Structure 1
Amino acid sequence: MTMKLDRRQFLLGTTALAAAAGISPAFAQEALRLIFWGGQARADRTYGVTDLYAKAGGPAIEGEFLAWNDYWPKLATQTAGGNAPDVIQMDYRYIVEYAKRNAIAPLDGFVGSALNLADFDQDQLDGGKVDGKLYGISLGANSVALMINTVDFEKAGLDVPGPNTTYADLTTISEAFKSKGVGKAVVADGSVSEPMYENWLRQRGKALYTADGKVAFDEADATEWYKLWADLRAAGVCVSPDDQALDTGPLETTMLTLNKASVIPSNSNQLVAFQAIIKDKITISNFPRTATDAPGGHYRKPSMFFSVAGSSAQQEAAAKFISFFINDPAASNVLGVERGIPCSKAVRDALAPTLDAQSQVALNFVANLGPLLAALPPSPPAAAGEIDASLFRILGQEVGFGAKTPEQAGPELVKGATDILNRAA
């Protein structure tokens, strides 16, 4: 008979044996539970750090990772059941919602003791605050970015998109792709990408949400957005709705990885992960401009946070682990910039010379956005995640498949988002 133990069973078993033997090494301490989203490359780096932490005398970390689309339903179920992991990877879009429900704990009481934030970037600290309290520790600064297959642009005899590439230029690029037989669309369907919509709005002097959590765009904005992508779709510049529907969340199902499009909207920190699974050279650039003289739509965003569950009985131990994760030099060497640019100046300065070429590209992109960079927007309202998942993406798909026109979807987005926010309030 054979037995197969998962990581949890092994850790619990060894802890019990150690306790029975009357010894108390690091692995005999009660294990902390950690949940995060990401692919195997992120998991390998994360578990590399949890192993370092155990060797340094900390408790064992029992980790679990899921794809983005699977992560939030699983976390919501665990939280509702009072069984949330001690350490939770949290997103800027959801932090207000989880904080206001006391699903994550304020960490202010641990700062300066269990949690060292001595030289943390202030904008990254501020990004983790809700109503003045610190609920999330940024794991890296990043920005939205286009992931670009450089080989396709070489085939087409074109430079890759750059700081002055506009949405109108995508059509010209598509014509070159077709004439040179590149054999795929230029870009994924961005109509379902909330970050791309936000960036487009910011270039027009608008925003997704106001500081007091209201919808900050109008029906004309939303209608024009859907019409922009309907025109790109009709011209074959972006992928078909059938192809876009194949993207279910994991990096492996994106239009870039499936070789359906040469460019997709993403985040700068994901360059490392994409390059690990795609053989062609990948690079990054800013989102398209509405016009070459448009104001910047980008901002330096906390790529993700670590938060501590409000229900955790080991909040101080969880804070100590987070402090190790963001400050330890050996941990930073394992993590690189896969989760974004380190927020500690000391860690950033020590790490920079050790980075490989692709990691340097990601670091330099975030550090040199120049006039494209504008202020960090307020934290999104508590229901922003629901608006993105159950309204924004669905309306984009319905327009893509012809079930709705842009003129129908635009007003529906504004009304639907307003209704969701009002219910949450």
Structure 2
Amino acid sequence: MKRILAATALAVVAVSATACGGGDDGGSGGRTKLVFSYWGSDSRQKLTETAIAAFEKKNPTIDVEGDFSDFDSYYEKLATKTAAGDAPDVMSIEIRGLAEYAGRGALADTKGKVSTADLDQSVLKAGQLDGKQYAIPTGVNTWPMIVNKDLLEKEGQKMPDDKTWTWDDYIAASQKMTQKSGEQVWGTEYNENPAFLQVFAGQRGEPFYANGKVGLSEQTIKDWWALLQKIIATKAGPGAAKMLETGTKPDLSLLATNKSVYGSWWSNQLDALSKGSGQDLELLRMPKAPGASASGMFLQPAMYYTISSRTKHSEAAAKFIDFMVNDPEAGAIVLSDRGLPTNAKVLAAIKGKLSPADQKVAAFMDSIKGELSPIVIPPKGATEMEDILKRATDSVLFGKAKPDAAAKSFLSEANNALSQ
């Protein structure tokens, strides 16, 4: 449904002749008003409002209105505003939405408008399509395994060697933790995010996307589900019903509530997970299949800043993005909330201000940078992938569908979404 709404809205943008922007000067003596849309938690909203205030102090003729939503409603809201010719001047989007929004003419080319000389050029390329710089990465992420070291050592267990551990090692270690705690603490929680499947498939040399379609084989999808089923069957982790309760929010996770020793989340979520648990959390490489030549782990922009193609204030919008990615003052406020800064100078300036958890992320990212796969921009329709994969995965884990049928159904539905 979200995909249909977004596609319909963006199609309206593509054919609309009305050049309406999300902001106007408000009729107040040459002042410029920008609307900046973004999603996230309450803590992100507070950080962002502080950053906006700092920008306005440096740019007294520009007012920035933060248009905040939770993630579940963000894209529907953005699509509706875009369809109405009232797109925010500066929009946050994910990598999954880049091809969608750029392909339908909703985004402006930022090349030459935002200074990018100090940004990581390999990451910057992940905002380019058809030779145009439609998006500026806010920061970078990866998808690691996270472990509660305090809980692990409390039960007399050692930290795994993440350079050599396998999926079987991970399940065995998790199973042992569940048993030792008398099922008061689970060995691991698991995550149905496509990033987890992407890592798993990457170890087999399969990309998640290839030539505008899903690049995964049915067998790899079924084997990933078998891994999740084994976690449940061995009681290394809880059943599907329990995992459904925790949702996809870090603050509700078993890791954050000290009910799990292991779990996989985005690296920039370590700080929130650590604060929730109040314990010592560490990042590890994801386990590997025996004989795998690649880790499957990959670098990805946490999100992007983009400028609406309909804005009347592209210069002011670019100035705001430039501040957010290039100014150490903004970096010191936002820190790693939108991923670790891709501007090396900003990262160096704020390193001492990062929380202990964020400093761990910085060190971890530096240690594995040579093992990460290049960034790949998903095709149009990828915004729906998480929902499609979750439905298929739940159907298998709840016993409502056989893996063979579910894999075929997933690929059919996913490729249909990508072909729209």
Report TM bin, short chain: 0.7 to 0.9
State the partner residue of 2:138.
139
Residue in 1 that maps onto 2:50: 48
Equivalent in 391, 398, 402 of residue 399 of structure 2: 402
Question: Which residue is equivalent to 2:187?
Answer: 186
Asked if 1 retains the 8 angstrom alpha-carbon contact of 2:325 and 2:341, the reply is yes
**Greater Cα offset, 157-166 or 392-401:** 157-166
Indicate whether 1:104 and 2:107 are aligned.
yes
Question: Does structure 1 conserve the Cα–Cα contact (< 8 Å) formed by 2:176 and 2:236?
Answer: no
- Aligned pairs for 1:9-24 (under 5 A) are 19=28
Matched letter for residue 406 of structure 1: P
CA distance in 2, matches of 1:279, 1:65: 28
Alignment of 1:79-228 (within 5 A): 79-108=82-111, 111=112, 114-161=113-160, 162-181=162-181, 183-190=184-191, 192-210=192-210, 212-228=211-227
**Aligned to 2:147, what secondary structure does the other structure show?**
strand
Counterpart-to-counterpart distance in 2, 1:238 and 1:348:
37
Q: Distance in 2 between matches of 1:145 and 1:156?
A: 23
The CA deviation at 1:274 is 2.5
In the comparison of the two structures, how many residue pairs are matched?
A: 393
Q: TM-score, length-normalised on structure 1?
A: 0.86
Amino acid at match of 1:268: S
TM-score (norm: length of structure 2)? 0.87
Q: Match for 1:382 among 371, 377, 380?
A: 380
Q: Which amino acid aligns with 2:378?
A: P
Distance in 2, matches of 1:30 and 1:276, equals 38
d(CA) in 2 for partners of 1:304, 1:282: 24
- Give 1:147 deviation, angstroms: 3.0
Contact preservation (8 Å) 1:155, 1:180: no
Contact kept? 1:165, 1:292, Cα under 8 Å: no
Q: Deviations over 1:169-216 (max 9, x none)?
A: 1222133213321623222233x2200000111111111111x31221
Partner of 1:263, secondary structure, is: strand
SS at structure 1 position matched to 2:68: strand
- In structure 2, distance between residues paired with 1:252 and 1:70: 18
Q: More deviation in 178-187 or 391-400?
A: 178-187
Tell me: CA distance 1:292–1:66, structure 2 relative to 1, closer, same or farther (3 Å): farther
Are 2:165 and 2:287, in contact at CA under 8 Å, matched by a contact in 1? yes
Q: 1:264 to 1:313 in 2, by over 3 A?
A: farther
The CA deviation at 1:243 is: 1.7
- 2:97 maps to a residue whose letter is Y
8 Å contact kept, 1:39–1:251: no
Moved more, 237-246 or 175-184: 175-184
Residues 339-370 of structure 1 show CA distances to partners (whole Å, capped at 9, x for unaligned) of 22211222222222443322210111111105
The answer to whether residue 253 in structure 2 is matched with residue 254 in structure 1 is: yes
Kindly indicate whether the alpha-carbon contact (under 8 Å) linking 1:268 and 1:365 is maintained by their aligned counterparts in 2: no
After the TM superposition, which segments of 4 or more aligned residues of structure 1 sit over 6 Å from their partners?
none
Give the aligned residue type for 1:396: T
Cα contact 1:239–1:261 (8 A) shared by 2: no
* Alignment partners' CA distance in 2, 1:371 and 1:350: 24
AA aligned opposite 1:386: E
* CA RMSD, Structure 1 to Structure 2 (Å): 2.2
Structure 1 380/254 Cα, relative in aligned 2: closer, same or farther at 3 Å?
A: same
Q: What SS is found at the alignment partner of 1:340?
A: coil
> 1:371, CA displacement in angstroms?
5.3
Q: Tell whether the 8 Å contact from 1:223 to 1:410 is kept in structure 2 after alignment.
A: yes
> For residues 274-309 of structure 1, what are the alpha-carbon distances to aligned partners after superposition, in whole Å with 9 as ceiling and x for unaligned?
233332222222222223754121222111111112
Change over 3 Å in CA distance of 1:148–1:174 after alignment to 2: closer
Partners of 2:159 and 2:220 lie apart in 1 by 28
Q: Check conservation: 1:36, 1:88, Cα contact below 8 A.
A: yes
Q: Do 1:140 and 1:340's aligned partners in 2 also have CA atoms closer than 8 Å?
A: yes
Q: Which string of whole-angstrom CA distances, capped at 9 and with x for unpartnered residues, describes residues 41-84 of structure 1?
A: 22222222111011112422211333322322222222223222
Letter in 2 for 1:44: K
CA distance in 2: counterparts of 1:179 and 1:274, whole angstroms: 24
Distance 1:31 1:147, change over 3 A: farther
The one-letter code matched in structure 1 to 2:405 is Q
User: In the alignment, does 2:309 pair up with 1:307?
Assistant: no
Give SS of 1:32's match: strand
**Which is worse superposed, 219-228 or 249-258?**
249-258
List gaps (5 residues or longer) in structure 1: 1-14
Contact 2:251 2:272 in 1 (8 A): no
Please say which of residues 132-141 and 279-288 is displaced more in the overlay.
279-288
Residues 284, 411 of structure 1: alpha-carbon distance in 2 compared, 3 angstrom cutoff = same
Q: Residues 141 and 299 of structure 2 are in contact (CA less than 8 Å); yes or no, is this contact kept in structure 1? A: yes
Deviation by residue 1:73-113 (Cα, 9 ceiling, x = unmatched): 222222223222211111111111111111222212xx2xx
Q: Is the 8 A contact 1:337 1:362 kept in 2?
A: no
